[in-house]
Structure 1
């Protein structure tokens, strides 16, 4: 669930369960997609951590952070949203759980967007300025400190405004996510969150992704960098497809939110927002499969497991059918 600028926009969350897509279809979509998506995320992370070369590759570090940020959505947010769709009320119905759920659905979700914005910036450094990272000291200053700073900043901000807010959150167990965080009613905090943590990352993702493609095409033609094209093509495809996923499913809602901040009536776009909130779930659901395609070592390993499993099933079926004949 993406952040919104104020409570008037969030009031529509009470109507999300009334989206014209039938409830059982939404429930089925989330259930069918969440299980393989979660397995894929865990499989990728385990294999990256086990493989020293993958684990130490600088371009994989932000991918690890992004996968870790979507995992709570897959394992907690979506399953409990499925429970909500099944029961038509939040279970378990208590304030501690609601705060925890809001932290994941709002804070962790927005952290994913912030990490993606950082990833699009970092790709320019890794591809065009790799000499900046030639020694350990530079890697610490240019790579590790910025990445950890982004993560720490986002976690501290959302822990403060959601888990330890300067206001009282009123929970409604008949609404998804128990309604909205109380800091949305604080004009300063909600405005800061909307602009810095949602709109700015979206702008960075779009502009830096386009710039990455154009910059590489131009420099490749000028310098005839065939070897570097082969080396970095996978990195470019990976980040552009991941960025496209966020642009498709989150940018329209972000644009609407920006329009509301600029004075557009909060009544405009309510029907659209009801759909947009649901479709933002496709970001964490599809992200691991995009990452998997850009990690051929892990992809081949997973395909080998599936093929072996399928062969065993075929052998068992053959052994069962043969005696009957």
Structure 2
């Protein structure tokens, strides 16, 4: 028992240092990205960058408002404050951010097909509103309404929480006591977006390759390749972060709650935090204009430093 607690302490401390180091760097890069979009409105007018900015904002909220809670848990080794209300708020807030982020990437994956192959659809204001902006807005509205109903309003006495596990043991009443709701949340809410992301990316690659062979236009291919690589890179991070916990979570709901339970709580569920922690680094590579802007800032700073340095 003592060795088990020591192992837990070491694991928690390792997670604490990894999370806080990655969090600080991700926040700095995110702030630079926001500054870039504010000073480059023309870049923000590009339709695909608007959806990307919405995704960056959601990930930034997770970095500054949600991640401090698991970081605090891994530092202390227990949930503080250990109350029913805190666990309800924490799970409601985190589940919302994760599902909104997933739905946004799934929506962006579908919209990217239209942007590459039928961009003229979005030239019409009504169609742009209906097929671009409304789906993005629904990605925010649906999770909030859903989790108000199944987390906040779900009748439960609050005695099921595990204050010695991250996110209070993921012990929401609907996950423990309602197999239908639990399976729906894991499979339909979290699983469906992942399936859509995979299928949309695979078909996009096939369509782009076939289109390149037919068109043989260098300029058109360059734009398509850039938009495709942008989507593939972001989607790959989401698939890596979500697939392990999804497979285990659905199996637990359908078969046995104890299936790989320790692996799930100690490792795979923490992979989901990597989305917010690593995505700002990906955006740096995916926005060449951003890299040029940062390079110019560093160059100017170096010139100023050299000018004011005393002889």
Same fold (TM over 0.5): yes
Asked if 2 retains the 8 angstrom alpha-carbon contact of 1:72 and 1:104, the reply is no
Gaps of 5+ in 1: 1-14
Q: 1:69 to 1:162 in 2, by over 3 A?
A: farther
1:83 to 72, 82, 86: 72
2:174 to 180, 183, 186: 183
Hey, what's the Cα distance between the residues in 2 that align with 1:248 and 1:132?
A: 32
Partner of 1:120: 109
Hey, what's the Cα distance between the residues in 2 that align with 1:87 and 1:250?
A: 26
Partner of 1:74: 63
Partner of 1:111: 100
- Deviations, residues 16-47 of structure 1 (Å, cap 9, x unaligned): 99669633221111111100101222322343
Partner of 1:217: 209
2:258 to 247, 263, 267: 267
Partner of 2:15: 26
2:199 to 178, 189, 207: 207
Asked if 2 retains the 8 angstrom alpha-carbon contact of 1:249 and 1:279, the reply is yes
1:235 to 207, 212, 227: 227
- Deviations, residues 72-117 of structure 1 (Å, cap 9, x unaligned): 3211222221211121222344444333221232221122112111
Three-state SS of the structure 1 residue aligned to 2:79 is coil
Partner of 1:196: 188
Hey, what's the Cα distance between the residues in 2 that align with 1:315 and 1:17?
A: 55
Three-state SS of the structure 2 residue aligned to 1:281 is helix
Q: How does the TM-score come out when normalised to structure 2?
A: 0.86
Hey, what's the Cα distance between the residues in 1 that align with 2:85 and 2:306?
A: 49
Hey, what's the Cα distance between the residues in 2 that align with 1:164 and 1:16?
A: 35
Give, in angstroms, the shift of residue 261 of structure 1: 4.2
Gaps of 5+ in 2: none
Asked if 1 retains the 8 angstrom alpha-carbon contact of 2:27 and 2:63, the reply is yes
Asked if 2 retains the 8 angstrom alpha-carbon contact of 1:19 and 1:275, the reply is no
Hey, what's the Cα distance between the residues in 1 that align with 2:299 and 2:83?
A: 45
Asked if 1:167 is matched to 2:156, the reply is yes
Asked if 1:279 is matched to 2:297, the reply is no
Three-state SS of the structure 2 residue aligned to 1:106 is helix
Q: How does 1:238-257 map to 2 (within 5 A)?
A: 238-257=230-249
- Deviations, residues 217-269 of structure 1 (Å, cap 9, x unaligned): 01110122322212232221111001111112221221222333443x33332
Considering only aligned residues, what root-mean-square deviation do their CA atoms show, in Å? Answer: 2.8
Partner of 1:152: 141
Three-state SS of the structure 2 residue aligned to 1:245 is helix
